[in-house]
Amino acid sequence: MSGGTLGTWNPTTTPRPAPGGGCPCRPPGPGPRSCRSAPRPALPRSARSARSRGRRCSPGTGRTGGRRTSRGNGLSSRSGNAVGWLLALLLLAGACASPPDPGHRTSAVARPPMGWNSWNTFGCAIDENRILAAAGALVTSGMRDAGYRYVVVDDCWQAPARAADGALQADPVRFPHGMAWLGDRIHAMGLRFGIYQSPEEQTCAEYGGTLLGATGALGHEDQDARTFADWGVDYLKYDWCSPHGTIDDQVTAFATMDRALRATGRDIVYSINPNSAHFNSGPYYDWGRVADLWRTTEDVADAWSTGCVSDCAMGVTEILDAQAPLAGRAGPGRWNDPDMLEVGVRGTFTPDENRAHMTMWAMMAAPLMAGNDVTAMPADVRDVLTAPGAVAVDQDPLGRQATRLRTDGRAEVWARPLADGSVAVALLNRGDAPTSIATSASEAGLPASAAYRVSDVWAGTSATTASPDLAATVPAHGVAFYRVTPTG
């Protein structure tokens, strides 16, 4: 962890205090990160503040709260002006009822992006040598050839102040050659260059007090987009960091950068995070209208389960529960993002948990952003991340997210249709003891066929059978993962 010693922090319990006091913050560095004023339940947009420093929509009314004058505006006289009140309520309800329309959007991101992000392992402890070492490891480990092509430099790359002309600058100590130079070196390895920014005044590390400065994009969107294009950036992670603002505010901010990126003429994958320091806003807006991929949940922890569903780090199982209802919003060019992979990040997961984590992200057609130290990667972690069968399911061109067909809170059956007529099936054991799980061809949505090829993705075996009914004894926190193809 960089930014000094901030004490112990357990991502499975509660957010910890920010350095020097203030709001509870998740730490920059290993683990999730965000800063919020106090734990609170997830509420729909109409029941949340329009902005903490501006207009408020009162819970249950949709009206704007705050102070009213007693005279001079015709709205608060005791005699009342019925017409005036009605007009005011209609106007205010309109202001609080629906997010702004960003217009029609098309995307060229036909498959979920794959790559590596610096945050989960290194946090703010990054420099150009560390980034280039990670890029080189993607090549030598075989991850690049397996599809992991984006090298995303997360928060803390920037200098604490912009240049005199308002342009972003790289930290001169940690990135002395600048970001364009870094991007050139990454491109020379056959990889693509990603970078981080925030739509508000400060990035998440700046907002949390770990990094000095206020270099967020607010008021600089067009300039920053041009800078990124000039630097050869191929991927932008755009991270909402404060607990303030409604979905309306977020839609406006994310759409502003979307337009700015498009105006540059450079193809830049646009990844947004409406949830970094917010409630779980995934269900409340169709984020594919403003971005190529969007975070659907709170930050992921390196934990199978944290027991937390709002305002703190979520485990694998909580994220599955949050993303399952959003399957209809994903597809080619618009991807639900359940956050970065925790496979191999700190060695917390067992081998069964690593395989289950990778399986379920592949089943959800999730972007696969590795977060482990790829320069010191054990062979078993590499094998999970590069497993051809799992990657093929994730990258299937049909782009359909899996549907959870059945759950009893422990044993689950998921199925995902694939472009060649196959169906990917995951039998997931969320429980703490081995359990038997089974499904039938009809439940999995397989068409009638004289024969089927059943491929066990993790065992690497295949067999042809007349009956594709599946059954397995699945280990605790484990999965059985199949690809079933009609052949007759």
- Residues acting as catalytic residues: 239, 299
Closest CA to 286 of 313, 257, 320, 251: 251
Cα separation, 441 vs 407, whole angstroms: 17
Distance from first CA to last CA of the chain, Å, rounded?
A: 56
Determine contact, residues 275/243, Cβ cutoff 8 Å: no
Query: What is the rounded distance in angstroms from the CA atom of residue 264 to the CA atom of residue 37?
Result: 36
At 227, which amino acid appears? T
Tokens standing for residue 277: 């320091």
Neighbours of 328 (CB within 10 A): 11
The string of DSSP codes covering 13-26 is S--EEPTTSSSEEP
> Residue 474 in 3-state DSSP?
strand
DSSP-assigned states of every residue in 326-340: GGGG-BTTBEEE---
- The residue whose two tokens read 């205010």 is 92
Rounded Cα gap, residues 277 and 171, in angstroms? 25
d(C-alpha 387, C-alpha 222), whole Å: 40
Q: Which residue has the tokens 């994310």?
A: 254
Q: Largest Cα–Cα distance of the chain, in whole Å?
A: 82
Q: What three-state secondary structure class fits 427?
A: strand
CB burial class (10 A; 0-12, 13-18, 19+) of residue 379?
A: exposed
Sign of the Cα torsion 88, 93, 94, 99 reads positive
Burial of 101 (0-12, 13-18, 19+ CB in 10 A): exposed
Tell me the sheet residues that pair with 423: 417, 484
